[in-house]
Structure 1
């Protein structure tokens, strides 16, 4: 029996694996950081054995409430992922499972590999209206990819989407894959209409270094990118530095930052209510966007979410707030669950990559609903 994590996005430490019925594991911290929660590992040689996998430091993870009512995902082929019941006793996360094959992968959520990221942008550039450019290099030397979709025109709206500032929130790039599939579908009338009126700037993965390293929230320098937007630096947060620099060049009318939330079992948005410049115009756009999103996809809701910031009390190091304030624009963080959507639960798959893609494709509707009113 063998447990390994030396692969793209792998993360686990083996404490003891001498017996299948008492496998003891720990989640490894993000490099140069105290964040920890993402895991992804392979178990070999335990076919038809009743396994008990115990993550001993679950209570020490960054979001221990995330383990309540949570079930991990597993796959035999890294393509089809399903949920396995998990049990959290306030200290240890325990997974009891009998693998049907000799090799099986377990993860916190369905992984989105760097290879798939490269395939995603490669496929996107096949569309006549999509161009790939590299904004700069990450700390580990990877390309920070930007997709520019639509013919730039000073009269068109400028819409930015970014994903995976927090690399362990893989549902964010699944969302982007669904979004791109709809927008770049020549038979999708809504996508084609949007491209006549807007240019889209999309960064599918803001944190490729953290993604490959198997981090939850940080880049190769240990920086939480979603707290770097006020004063990004090339030394600590080049990813944010390059993106914000490009935004200044293009201008911006609508910003969506795609994330996942460990604890809340819902899809929701967080806006810019606490920004100093927050206005009735932005509030009306927010309400219109949310109402259209609810109609477009019942997986989205607006009853549960984060507490709204008090007026003038927004944290301007956060992307959504900073960009909303900088450009006086409609700006949202979109959050998806690691667990399931409690309003529409699915026992076998929970919230999944497939549902993340569907939510991404349906976001075209709320974008269209506010497009003419963005300025």
Structure 2
């Protein structure tokens, strides 16, 4: 038997593996950081054997509540992912699975590879609706790209969508892929109507270095990008600094930031109600946005989510809070589950890339509901 993780987003520490029934692992920490939750590895030579893979440091990971009722994902071809039996006893996370083939991959969530990211950009720019803009480089020297969808004409609303500030939250880029699939479809009437009124600015991957390194929360420097928006630097958080400068140059009327939540098995949004600049206009926009999404996609809900911040007590280093007050605009963090959507569960797949894409495609409906009231 052999376990390896020397590939895009791969991450695991092997303690010992004397036989298939006793494989002992550790979840690796992010680069230069204490965060640990993401894993992605390949197991070879165990076809037909009952494997027991134990993650010995699960209780010491960043979000131990994320292991409760969690099922890991597996794939033989890295295209089709399915859930496998997983248990957490409060200390150790255990995957029990009998592979059918000699090569199989296990991961925390369905990965979104750097190669697929580059293909997404290439496919997007093949549309006459899309232009690719280079914002600069990450600490590891990777490109940070902005997709501009639609004409940049005077008077049009400016809608921004970012994803994967936390690189292990791969459902966020699947979400973006779904949004782009509609925006770039010239036969989609809703997309066409929105592009008559708005230009979309999309950063599909805010954290390329963390994505390739197999990090959950941080970039190459060990920085949590979603705590940098009040004062980013080119030394620690160039990704935020570059995107924020582009926003200030272009303007923002609506901002959506796609994420994944480890513990809550629901799709929900978090707004800026704790901001010192929160007002009745922004509250009305938030309510209209949520109401429209509830109508158009049953995978979205507004019963479960984060506890609302009290007015004036928001963390202003978060992207949603910073952008909402700086531009006095509607801003939402979109959260999707690592587990499953408890309201519409799927035992075989759980929440996955395809369902994230469908949710991303459906976000055009709530955007359309508020587009005329943004300014």
Give the shorter-chain TM-score range: over 0.9
1:179 partnered with 2:183: no
Using the TM superposition, give the Cα deviation of residue 6 of structure 1 relative to its aligned residue in structure 2, in angstroms: 0.4
3-state secondary structure, aligned to 2:21:
helix
Gaps of 5+ in 1: none
3-state secondary structure, aligned to 1:269:
strand
How many angstroms apart in 2 are the aligned matches of 1:248 and 1:129? 23
How many angstroms apart in 2 are the aligned matches of 1:287 and 1:133? 33
Using the TM superposition, give the Cα deviation of residue 18 of structure 1 relative to its aligned residue in structure 2, in angstroms: 1.4
Question: 1:31-46 to 2 correspondence within 5 Å?
Answer: 31-46=31-46
User: What residue is the counterpart of 1:274 in the other structure?
Assistant: 274
User: What residue is the counterpart of 1:343 in the other structure?
Assistant: 343
- Taking structure 1 as the reference length, the TM-score comes to 1.00
How many angstroms apart in 1 are the aligned matches of 2:82 and 2:274? 39
1:128 partnered with 2:128: yes
3-state secondary structure, aligned to 1:196:
helix
1:302 partnered with 2:306: no
3-state secondary structure, aligned to 1:3:
strand
How many angstroms apart in 2 are the aligned matches of 1:188 and 1:357? 16
3-state secondary structure, aligned to 1:152:
coil
How many angstroms apart in 2 are the aligned matches of 1:371 and 1:259? 22
User: What residue is the counterpart of 2:88 in the other structure?
Assistant: 88
3-state secondary structure, aligned to 1:154:
coil
3-state secondary structure, aligned to 2:255:
strand
Superimposed CA distance per residue, residues 215-252 of structure 1 (whole angstroms, 9 cap, x where no aligned partner): 00000010000000000000000000000000011111
- Taking structure 2 as the reference length, the TM-score comes to 1.00
User: What residue is the counterpart of 1:231 in the other structure?
Assistant: 231
Structure 1 runs (4+) deviating above 3 angstroms are none
Gaps of 5+ in 2: none
How many angstroms apart in 1 are the aligned matches of 2:156 and 2:127? 19
Using the TM superposition, give the Cα deviation of residue 155 of structure 1 relative to its aligned residue in structure 2, in angstroms: 0.6
User: What residue is the counterpart of 1:291 in the other structure?
Assistant: 291
Superimposed CA distance per residue, residues 17-59 of structure 1 (whole angstroms, 9 cap, x where no aligned partner): 1110000000110011100000000000000011001011100
1:196 partnered with 2:196: yes
1:324 partnered with 2:328: no
Using the TM superposition, give the Cα deviation of residue 129 of structure 1 relative to its aligned residue in structure 2, in angstroms: 1.4
User: What residue is the counterpart of 1:362 in the other structure?
Assistant: 362
3-state secondary structure, aligned to 2:235:
coil
How many angstroms apart in 1 are the aligned matches of 2:154 and 2:62? 44
1:151 partnered with 2:157: no
